[in-house]
């Protein structure tokens, strides 16, 4: 399947339209043409009015992970606010790249007026992107894999996830120590950036040794097995950083099963409710929350602006925060207005 996707991508790139060819390959963390989510109104004005019969499609990685269900809730909130319909669909699992591509292509053929997509890899939805571009259907890449030819991207600074966790270790372990990384899916921009941010920040400090950095493909079970092996090989390990919360919760199980909970800190990424609950119980040390419901709402605002003819920055940056037991209660508020105010003050 990977060979097929690479072949399709190569063909897609060779036949790319001028619309896409004018763009430099997107690197969402460093793209200079960017606007912070809090500045959309002040920079671009009011959101245009749209027709109630508007149909927007959301294409997700999977619905088995709470993060992506929450992102879809954000889309639904936005659609309800503006009085139109959004269809949110996902592949069967995070390895079903062809299934996800089929969903996107079907939505295009059905006449959806815009697509909000979260690709499984940086390349698997490129053929659908080209098809949408040829029909002048706006496509917004919403976290966390990044399509090189995407004209618009909504999401947080992926590298900063790892940076924030590394800074916690530097602050709480000034003497340094051995740490390990549980990576996400190889070939996904976000996973690589999160890992790089953690590694580079600790390496610059000079007091930490990264004894292992292994992929677990977003799987809790795979992460549990990898963490168990690493802990047996490095019994003095002071911490793990996992590229998402699902894997981090698997690491927590491994740490607890080997009676290392007091010694070994565990951090995840995403801010799902199970992560918050584990933090409050004193199990998971922390997570970097990227607030998927709010991200989905912002992405829908961006889509409405694009359909209304506004010309926006290529990247719209959304918020993130390091969550530990000290601030978990504040950031787990269900009051959307209060949360937005809290994040805007960061």
Q: Does 7 fall in a domain?
A: no
Range of the domain at 248: 158-289
Q: What is the pLDDT of residue 346?
A: 79
Pair 236, 312 in one domain = no
At residue 168, the pLDDT reads 98
Give the chain's residues under pLDDT 50.
1-6, 8-21
- pLDDT at position 4 is 45
Question: Can you give the pLDDT at residue 190?
Answer: 95
What's the pLDDT score for residue 13?
Answer: 43
Provide the pLDDT for residue 20.
Answer: 43
236 burial type by CB count under 10 A (0-12 exposed, 13-18 middle, 19+ buried):
exposed
Name the maximum alpha-carbon separation found in the chain.
61
- The pLDDT tens digits of the residues spanning 107-157 come to 999 999 999 999 999 999 999 999 999 999 999 999 989 999 999 999 999
- Which of residues 274, 289, 304 is at a domain's end? 289
Verify that 214 and 224 share a domain, yes or no: yes
The pLDDT assigned to 334 comes to 87
pLDDT at 345: 84
What CATH number corresponds to the domain at position 118?
A: 3.40.50.2300
Per the domain annotation, does 16 fall within a domain? no
Residues 250, 313: one domain? no
Same domain for 84 and 162, yes or no, is no
Same domain for 203 and 124, yes or no, is no
Q: How far is Cα 169 from Cα 172, in angstroms, rounded to an integer?
A: 5
Please tell me the distance from the alpha carbon of residue 98 to that of residue 101, in angstroms, as a whole number. 5
């Amino acid at each position: 399947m990977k060979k097929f996707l690479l072949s399709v991508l190569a063909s897609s790139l060779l036949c790319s339209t001028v619309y896409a060819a004018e763009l430099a390959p997107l690197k969402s963390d460093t793209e200079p043409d960017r606007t912070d989510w809090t500045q959309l109104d002040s920079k671009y004005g009011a959101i245009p009015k749209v027709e109630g019969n508007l149909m927007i499609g959301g294409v997700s990685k999977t619905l088995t992970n709470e993060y992506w269900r929450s992102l879809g809730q954000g889309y639904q909130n936005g659609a309800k606010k503006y009085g139109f319909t959004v269809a949110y669909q996902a592949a069967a699992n995070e390895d079903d790249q062809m299934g996800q591509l089929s969903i996107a292509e079907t939505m295009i053929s059905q006449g959806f007026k815009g697509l909000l997509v979260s690709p499984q890899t940086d390349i698997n939805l490129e053929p659908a992107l080209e098809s949408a571009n040829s029909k002048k259907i706006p496509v917004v890449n919403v976290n966390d894999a990044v399509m090189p030819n995407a004209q618009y991207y909504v999401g947080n600074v992926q590298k900063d996830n790892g940076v924030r966790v590394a800074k916690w270790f530097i602050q709480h372990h000034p003497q340094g120590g051995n740490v390990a990384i549980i990576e996400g899916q190889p070939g996904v921009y976000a996973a690589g950036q999160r890992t790089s941010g953690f590694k580079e920040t600790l390496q610059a400090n000079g007091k930490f040794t990264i004894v292992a950095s292994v992929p677990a493909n977003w799987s809790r079970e795979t992460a549990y097995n990898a963490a168990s092996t690493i802990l047996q090989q490095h019994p003095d390990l002071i911490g793990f950083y996992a590229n998402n919360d699902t894997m981090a919760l698997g690491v927590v199980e491994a740490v607890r099963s080997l009676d290392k909970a007091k010694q070994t800190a565990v951090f995840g990424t995403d801010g799902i409710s199970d992560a918050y609950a584990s933090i409050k119980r004193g199990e998971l040390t922390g997570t970097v929350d990227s607030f998927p419901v709010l991200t989905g709402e912002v992405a829908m605002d961006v889509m409405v602006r694009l359909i209304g003819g506004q010309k926006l920055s290529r990247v719209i940056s959304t918020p993130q925060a390091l969550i530990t037991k000290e601030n978990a209660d504040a950031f787990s508020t269900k009051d959307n207005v209060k949360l937005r105010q809290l994040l805007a003050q960061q």
